[in-house]
Amino acid sequence: MKIPETPAFECETGNYHTFCPISCVARLYQKIEDSFFLVVGTKTCGYFLQNALGVTIFAEPRYAMAESEEGDISAKLNDQEELEKICLQIKNDRNPSVIIWIGTCTTEIVKMDLEGIAPILEKRLGIPIVVARANGLDYAFTQGEDTVLAAMAHRCPDYNHYGIDRGIASEIKHSKITNNPNNKSLYQKEKCAKSNLVLFGSLPSSVASQLNLELKRQSVPVSGWLPSQRYNELPSLGEGIYVCGVNPFLSRTATTLMRRRKCQLVGAPFPIGPDGTRAWIEKICAIFNRKPEGLEERENQIWKNIKDYIKLIEGKSIFFMGDNLLEISIARFLIRCGMVVYEIGIPYMDRRYQAAELLFLQHTCEKMKKPSPRIVEKPDNYSQVQRMHELKPHLAITGMAHANPLEARNIDTKWSVEFTFAQIHGSSNARDILELVTRPLRRKSGFTSNSRSLSKQMLKS
């Protein structure tokens, strides 16, 4: 089989079959611990949140619905007064540090001026109100988080480029007075003091701590995360700050950080899988003039630890229908594990933001001697099903809307939304990705699922 040098890009005109982006509330209210999310929409939005998020919420949620009635839509009621009543009740009951308004399709259609109302109520109530338009007009449900983080980026404090450590500043001043330009270590201190790294993307605290530790081992401290666990701990942004994303669906946030906050974006593959995590760390180290240490040994150890799973999928084929914008990164990792990826469907892709990931995908295909997958943006699902019948992949990664129909056609599936809510970032979580991928294959073969260990009998089968 001839291996193409670069992935083939195509664009179809299919409909979007993804969740509504307001589902971002589920993971963001858990990440930002002192926040409260107010979704401004209709009863349909409320039903969606109750049903879709019911499987992910195990504690009392910190979100509510501001449901639009006929009087709101026909402009018989005052939007500002109605929202003020709800926010005042939220303040009295919960006293959050920030209220985040999530605008839905309805607010777009009736042209509700949330951005104009928010500053007025913010002054009256004394609580910051952030407006994010995370509605169904986005391409994928994961972009709801992108909208919220882009809005929060405007609330981050300004970075003082000259606000470096006083001790270092004193040394630098003394060095300049004594006319000692050869003191390279001192100037290196100055550069490091001014070069701060902010990571953006919502990850569970345990996973964020793992990535912080990985970078700390390379002497690259992380100065902050967007979002932070608490609203008053938002990182400082501005010239002299380097920002790096951990998810492929945060292109709007990346653009805001570069254009509005004047930060410098670190273009790197995303830290998904041991290969992606190593490439992500190496790129950050290169920016800060650090020589990576121990990365190869650590990556090799992770590959040894997941060898039992790799044996199950090596040589098998997979097809991505397109749902959560994580498709490129997960496909690249699975190719590195020995799988053949026939097609990567993706609702939308910012090629500039994912440029490093696309290049890494190409290099991975060359290294593994696997054919480069076909990448289809905005895929037509009917055509995809026809192609799957011809290609007969061992597994399809798909949205929940198509899982049962595909299963009825003898095509094994895995819900793409599970990868969104699972812990898949960082080297040590590679096993969790493979657990999700191999589960339907093991189920079909009559194997029992064991999330942490696989028996020798199963491997021999």
Q: Please answer whether residues 112 and 101 qualify as being in contact, where contact means their C-beta atoms are separated by less than 8 angstroms.
A: no
Neighbouring-strand partners of residue 426:
272
* Cα-to-chain-centroid distance, residue 445: 33
- Whether the domain at 21-138 and the domain at 176-294 fall into the same CATH topology: yes
**For the domain bounded by 176-294, which CATH number is listed?**
3.40.50.1980
Query: DSSP assignment of 26-51, as one string?
Result: HHHHHHSTTEEEEEEE-HHHHHHHHH
Alpha carbon distance 239, 66 (integer Å): 38
pLDDT tens, N- to C-terminus, the chain (461 residues): 455 457 788 988 877 777 888 989 988 998 999 999 999 998 888 888 887 666 555 556 788 899 877 666 656 567 899 999 999 999 999 999 999 999 998 888 888 899 999 999 999 999 999 999 988 777 888 999 999 999 999 999 999 865 544 344 444 444 444 345 445 454 444 444 445 999 999 999 999 999 999 999 999 999 999 999 999 999 999 999 999 999 999 999 999 999 999 999 999 999 999 999 999 999 999 999 999 999 999 999 999 999 999 999 999 999 999 999 999 999 999 999 999 999 999 999 999 999 999 999 999 999 999 999 999 999 998 999 999 999 999 999 999 888 999 999 899 999 999 999 899 999 999 999 999 999 998 887 664 444 444 444 444 44
Instruction: Return the structure tokens found at 149.
Output: 């983080």
Handedness of CA 319, 323, 328, 330 (dihedral sign): negative
Alpha carbon distance 383, 18 (integer Å): 17
Question: 325 Cβ partners below 8 Å, 6+ apart?
Answer: 139, 140, 142, 143, 247, 248, 249, 346, 347, 348, 349
Instruction: Please report, for the chain, the start and end positions of each structural domain, with discontinuous segments joined by +.
Output: 8-12+296-460, 21-138, 176-294
Q: What's the topology of domain 8-12+296-460?
A: Rossmann fold (3.40.50)
**For the domain bounded by 21-138, which CATH number is listed?**
3.40.50.1980
pTM above 0.75, yes or no: yes
Neighbouring-strand partners of residue 224:
198
